[in-house]
């Protein structure tokens, strides 16, 4: 089944404890992206990647890192999490280029709580 898989789905951690949210897709998509969703603010893009070793900042990149060493994986790294990073996180991927570029497949989400 074509899908985007995120782990963990739920995580409670403490301030300053480094964590990584993994994202993997099995569709051979070039494009991958991370979003966070907060009440009243909608979905906001954190980082995106157009291909292996190519990443760029989205709207809210502060406090996050990403890497794209392999085409299928795009982990989101919180080096020193803070309570304002408590949120629901989504990873998404799509093929490129053309009209299919904006047909994103989303993961099921990772709910992160930072105490």
Partner 1 sequence: DAKTTQPPSMDCAEGRAANLPCNHSTISGNEYVYWYRQIHSQGPQYIIHGLKNNETNEMASLIITEDRKSSTLILPHATLRDTAVYYCIVRVASPQGAQKLVFGQGTRLTINP
Please state, in angstroms and rounded to a whole number, the distance separating the CA atoms of residues 40 and 56. 25
When binding is defined by CB under 8 A, the residue of 7, 22, 88, 113 that contacts partner 1 is 88
Please state, in angstroms and rounded to a whole number, the distance separating the CA atoms of residues 52 and 87. 27
Determine the interface stretch with partner 1 among 10-18, 70-78, 79-87, 93-101 (rule: CB under 8 A). Answer: 93-101
Closest approach, Cβ 97 to partner 1, in A, equals 5
Q: Which residues of 2-18 are buried (b: 16+ CB within 10 A; e: fewer)?
A: eebebeeeeeebeeeee
Residue 105 in contact with partner 1, rule: CB under 8 A: yes
Residues 29-58 touching partner 1, rule: CB under 8 A, are 31, 33, 35, 37, 42-43, 45, 48, 50, 56, 58
């Amino acid at each position: 089944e074509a899908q985007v898989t995120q782990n963990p789905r739920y995580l409670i951690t403490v301030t300053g404890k480094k964590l990584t949210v993994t994202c993997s897709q099995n569709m051979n998509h070039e494009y991958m992206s991370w979003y966070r969703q907060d009440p009243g603010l909608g979905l906001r893009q954190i980082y995106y990647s157009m291909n292996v070793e190519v990443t760029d900042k989205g709207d809210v990149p502060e406090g996050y890192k990403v890497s794209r060493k392999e085409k299928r994986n795009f982990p989101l790294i919180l080096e020193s999490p803070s309570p304002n990073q408590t949120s629901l996180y989504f990873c998404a991927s799509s093929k490129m280029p053309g009209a299919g570029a904006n047909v994103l497949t989303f993961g099921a989400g990772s709910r992160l709580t930072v105490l």
